[in-house]
Structure 1
Amino acid sequence: MAGVDYEVEYNNRARVPENPALMAGWARDAAAYRARHAPRAMSYGPGVRHRIDFFPGDGQGGIDGKGPIVVFIHGGYWQALDGSSSSHLAAGLNAHGIDVAIPSYDLCPEVTIDAIIGQMRTASRELARLGRPLVVSGHSAGGHLAACMLATDWRALDASLPADLVMAAYTISGLFDLGPLVETSINKAMGLDQAAARAASPLFWPAPARGSLDAVVGGNESAEYFRQSQTIVDLWGKAGVATRFGTVPDANHFTAIAPLADPDSPMVSRLRQLAAR
Structure 2
Amino acid sequence: MSSVLEHGSEDHLWAEPRGSACESTGLAQALLPSCRVLAGQSPCTVPVSCLELEEQYSPSRWSPRLDRDAVVEAHVEAVTAGTQMARATTQTLLHVPYGDGDGEKLDVYLPTDPSGTFPVLVYIHGGYWQCLSKDVSGFAAPALVSQGIAVVAVGYNIAPKGHMDEMVAQVRRSLAFLVQQYSWISGVYLCGHSAGAHLAAMVLSTDWAEYGVTPDIKGAVLVSGVYDLEPILHIYVNDALNMSREVAQRNSPMLCVTGAVPAAGACEVLVAVAQHDSPEFRRQSREYCQALRSAGWTVSLLDLAGVDHFNIIERLSQDSYILTEVILNMISRA
d(CA) in 2 for partners of 1:27, 1:158: 33
* Other-structure match for 1:6: 53
d(CA) in 2 for partners of 1:148, 1:104: 16
**Greater alpha carbon shift after TM alignment, 200-209 vs 169-178:** 200-209
* Other-structure match for 1:31: 84
d(CA) in 2 for partners of 1:152, 1:232: 17
1:178 has 2:229 as partner: yes
Runs of 4+ in 1 over 6 A off after TM superposition: none
1:52 has 2:52 as partner: no
d(CA) in 2 for partners of 1:25, 1:268: 16
* Other-structure match for 2:290: 234
d(CA) in 1 for partners of 2:78, 2:270: 26
Q: What is the SS of the residue equivalent to 1:251?
A: strand
Match of 1:220 among 233, 251, 276: 276
Total equivalences in the alignment? 271
d(CA) in 1 for partners of 2:229, 2:286: 15
d(CA) in 2 for partners of 1:85, 1:134: 21
1:203 has 2:230 as partner: no
- Is the Cα contact below 8 Å between 2:62 and 2:276 reproduced in 1? no
One-letter amino acid matched to 1:181: I
* Other-structure match for 2:41: none
* Other-structure match for 2:242: 191
- Is the Cα contact below 8 Å between 2:82 and 2:317 reproduced in 1? no
One-letter amino acid matched to 2:211: D
d(CA) in 1 for partners of 2:194, 2:73: 17
**Residue segments in structure 1 that go unaligned for 5+ positions in a row:** none
One-letter amino acid matched to 2:295: A
d(CA) in 2 for partners of 1:147, 1:169: 8
Deviation at 1:28, TM superposition (A): 2.1
d(CA) in 1 for partners of 2:163, 2:252: 13
* Other-structure match for 1:103: 154
Deviation at 1:243, TM superposition (A): 0.7
Deviation at 1:255, TM superposition (A): 0.6
Deviation at 1:48, TM superposition (A): 3.1
| Structure exhibiting the larger radius of gyration computed from Cα positions | 2
- Is the Cα contact below 8 Å between 1:49 and 1:104 reproduced in 2? yes
Match of 1:145 among 196, 199, 203: 199
Q: Deviations over 1:229-273 (max 9, x none)?
A: 111110110110001111222111111102311222221222223
* Other-structure match for 1:84: 135
Q: Deviations over 1:173-210 (max 9, x none)?
A: 01110111111001100011222111110110123322
Match of 2:309 among 233, 250, 253: 253
RMSD (Å), alpha carbons: 1.7
One-letter amino acid matched to 1:195: E
d(CA) in 2 for partners of 1:47, 1:195: 25
* Other-structure match for 1:270: 326
One-letter amino acid matched to 1:31: Q
One-letter amino acid matched to 2:172: R
- Is the Cα contact below 8 Å between 1:117 and 1:145 reproduced in 2? yes
Deviation at 1:275, TM superposition (A): 2.3
- Is the Cα contact below 8 Å between 1:75 and 1:139 reproduced in 2? yes
The two structures have a TM-score, normalised by structure 2, of 0.77
- Percent identical residues: 26
d(CA) in 1 for partners of 2:322, 2:60: 26
1:43 has 2:83 as partner: no
Q: What is the SS of the residue equivalent to 1:176?
A: coil
Deviation at 1:38, TM superposition (A): 4.4
One-letter amino acid matched to 2:77: A
**Greater alpha carbon shift after TM alignment, 52-61 vs 169-178:** 52-61
Going from structure 1 to structure 2, the CA distance change for 1:248 and 1:26 (only over 3 Å counts) comes to: same
Q: Deviations over 1:57-85 (max 9, x none)?
A: 23333xxx413211110000111110111
d(CA) in 1 for partners of 2:58, 2:154: 25
Q: Deviations over 1:101-122 (max 9, x none)?
A: 1111111111211100100111
d(CA) in 2 for partners of 1:74, 1:252: 16
